[in-house]
Amino acid sequence: MIYKLFQSSDFMDFKQKLKLLSPELKKNMGALLKKIEENVDTLYELATIDEKTGVYNNKFFIHISEMEIDKAKRGIGPLSFLIIDLDNFKKLNDTQGHIVGDYVLKRLGGVLKKFTRKYDIVSRFGGEEFIILLPNTTIKRAKIVCDRIRRETQRDREMIKYGVTLSGGLTEYKKGDNVRKMQIRADRAVYKAKKNGKNRIEIM
C-alpha cells in the first residue's frame, strides 16, 4: 500500500513541488532551526544561571561537583573547593538597601568570573555566599587563586565604595569525600576566617 503511494502520480507531483520550493524551504528551515537553538540556549541559561549574579546556580553546581568528585575518586586529578562569603553584607543591606546589595552581589559575580579560569565553576550558594569548584587544582594552587580574587575585589572601585571584603574557606578532595563533606569543611574554614578578623582565606 505504502509502496504504491510512493509510486503514485500524486506523490511524484508532490516531490516535484518540493523541488520547486526547496530554496525557500531551506531558508525557512534555517530560520526555524536558528530560533530553536536560541530557545534552547535561553532555557539552558534559565536552568543553570543565577539571575541576580550571572554565575551558575546551586543546583547546577551540585550536579557538576558530583561529576568532578567522581573524577577525583578515580585519580584523574586533584580537586579544590572554595566558599566565599561577603563580610558585613547584612549591614550593607540595612544601611544602603537591597538594590545596592543586589548590585554588589552582581558586581562580585563579575569579579569572580573574570579572575577564575574558564573551567572553574563559579556559583551562588545562597544569600551572600558563593562556591567555586577548582578542578585539577591542588590546595596550594587554589590558595593562589583565592588570594588573587580577594586582592582584585579590594582593587575594584565599586567594592571599595561600599567597603566590601571577602572571607573564604578552602578545602581539597580527600578519599571518601562527597559534595556535602567538602562543603562542611569549607564552611568551617569560612567560620574560622570570620572569627580571625574577616577579609582572609582559611584552609581546612
Residue-by-residue pLDDT tens, the chain, 204 positions: 444 444 445 545 655 555 555 566 656 656 665 665 655 555 545 567 888 888 999 888 888 899 999 999 898 889 999 999 999 888 888 898 989 999 999 999 999 998 898 889 999 988 899 999 999 999 999 999 988 888 888 888 888 888 889 999 999 999 999 999 999 999 999 999 999 999 999 998
| Residue 128 annotated among the catalytic residues of the structure | yes
The fold for domain 58-203 equals: Alpha-Beta Plaits (3.30.70)
pLDDT score of 156: 87
User: Residue 154: which residues within 8 A CB-CB, separation 6 or more?
Assistant: 160, 165
Nearest to 172 by CA among 129, 201, 130, 143: 143
- Identify the residue whose cell numbers are 569579579: 111
pLDDT on residue 28? 64
Which grid cell is 37?
537553538
pLDDT at residue 22 in the model: 59
- Cα–Cα dist 41/28, whole Å: 20
Whether the CB-CB separation of 57 and 49 falls below 8 Å is answered with yes
Residue with cell 510512493: 6
Grid coordinates belonging to 89: 553584607
Query: In the prediction, which pLDDT does 7 show?
Result: 47
- Given 128, 129, 158, 172, which residue is catalytic? 128
β partners of residue 171 = 81
For cell 543546583, what's the residue? Answer: 59
Using CA atoms, how far residue 148 sits from 11, 16, 140, 166, 175, in Å, is: 68, 65, 13, 12, 28
b or e along 85-113 (b: 16 or more beta carbons within 10 Å of the residue's beta carbon)? bbbbbeebbeeeeeeebeebbbbbbebbe
3-class state of residue 21 by DSSP: helix
- For 64, the enclosing helix (H) or strand (E) is helix 58-73
pTM above 0.85, yes or no: no
